[in-house]
Amino acid sequence: MNRFAFVGAGRMASAMVGGLLSHKAALPAEIACIGGNDDTAQILSRRTGVTAAPDATRLLATADTVVLACKPQQLVSLDPRLADLTAGRLVISILAGKRLARLASVFPRARNVVRAMPNTPGQIGAGITGWASLKPLADSDRAIVDTVLGALGQMVALDEKDLDAVTALSGSGPAFLFEFVAALREGGVAAGLSRDVAAKLAQATVLGSARLLAETGIEPETLRDQVTSPHGTTFAGLQCMAARGFRDTLKETVLAAQARSEELSRDA
């Protein structure tokens, strides 16, 4: 029996499938997937042993949970039979910008619909996903949501109104962090290091600092102050960041991403 049916077989779908299998939450025979006009489903099938379904009917023949993991713009072109085929099933969507009301109109007979916003670290099981449901979840469906989204990492249950902010902070946040790491690397190069050495130092510094923050539970400002000696090197760098409005710039960055997410959601 295919317990989980994935519509889409790209990176995030592959991460979720991989997480389900590695956590032993499902066997390969219990997962089916279908791709778009490409061979992603076949590739995922060969790599993991899950079923690459030839069409929507076969995909959902025995599935109880449907995971929408295609591109958001593909929602309008999905097989129209899905409206009936998803009757009585739980639908979990990771389509950015697609609101619960819109999803419910596409899958009107689903027993419940969940909208989730994962982020790219989920590809290695280190992500965090904010999610909201159309209706209160039954305990059994909450367990399914925890299993599917837990395959990507941590989860946070929210009201749907908060998902645009989640999209801006944790959905887009990895790109902002990667840009910071790149900038830190370039600073090292400007200071005279080779690019390879600067890249290694920047990456290890960010990774180690993030682990220290997570494992100690200490506020970031407190950890910052522990590194900062009065009028020392760190103080000089922080003064430069403050003078150029680093915090305000990052706050405006998140708000710009949130505004765009709200626009996309309205258009959806």
> What's the confidence (pLDDT) of residue 2?
54
CATH of the domain at 9: 3.40.50.720
Q: What is the arithmetic mean of pLDDT over 227-242? A: 96
* One domain for residues 185 and 248: yes
Q: What is the 3-state secondary structure (H, E, C) of the chain?
A: CCCEEEECCCHHHHHHHHHHHHCCCCCHHHEEEECCCCCHHHHHHHHHCCEECCCHHHHCCCCCEEEECCCHHHHHHCCCCHHHHCCCCEEEECCCCCCHHHHHHHCCCCCEEEEEECCHHHHHCCEEEEEEECCCCCHHHHHHHHHHHHCCEEEEECCHHHHHHHHHHHHCHHHHHHHHHHHHHHHHHHCCCCHHHHHHHHHHHHHHHHHHHHHHCCCHHHHHHHHCCCCCHHHHHHHHHHHCCHHHHHHHHHHHHHHHHHHHHHHC
> What's the confidence (pLDDT) of residue 1?
46
Domain end, chosen from 123, 140, 163, is at: 163
Domain that holds residue 253: 171-267
* One domain for residues 89 and 149: yes
> What's the confidence (pLDDT) of residue 16?
94
Domain end, chosen from 114, 142, 163, is at: 163
Q: Answer whether residue 248 shows pLDDT above 80.
A: yes
Q: Answer whether residue 266 shows pLDDT above 90.
A: no
* One domain for residues 134 and 234: no
* One domain for residues 175 and 106: no
> What's the confidence (pLDDT) of residue 38?
80
* One domain for residues 151 and 178: no
* One domain for residues 110 and 13: yes
- Domain count of the fold of the chain: 2
Q: Answer whether residue 37 shows pLDDT above 90.
A: no
pLDDT in tens, 165-214: 999 999 999 999 999 999 999 999 999 999 999 999 999 999 999 999 99
Q: Answer whether residue 30 shows pLDDT above 60.
A: yes
Q: What is the arithmetic mean of pLDDT over 64-86? A: 92
CATH of the domain at 240: 1.10.3730.10
Cβ distance 115 to 90 under 8 Å?
no
Q: How much of the chain exceeds pLDDT 90, in percent?
A: 89
Reported as a pLDDT band with limits 50, 70 and 90, residue 20 is very high
* One domain for residues 195 and 147: no
* One domain for residues 71 and 140: yes
* One domain for residues 90 and 220: no
* One domain for residues 225 and 261: yes
pLDDT in tens, 125-174: 999 999 999 999 999 999 999 999 999 999 999 999 999 999 999 999 99
* One domain for residues 23 and 156: yes
Domain end, chosen from 163, 182, 215, is at: 163
* One domain for residues 51 and 118: yes
Reported as a pLDDT band with limits 50, 70 and 90, residue 264 is confident
Task: Note the pTM of the prediction, 2 decimals.
Answer: 0.90
Most confident listed range (34-38, 54-58, 221-225): 221-225
> What's the confidence (pLDDT) of residue 9?
93
pLDDT in tens, 2-16: 599 999 999 999 999
In angstroms, the Cα distances linking 182 to 9, 192, 200 are 30, 16, 11
CA distance 265 to 241: 34
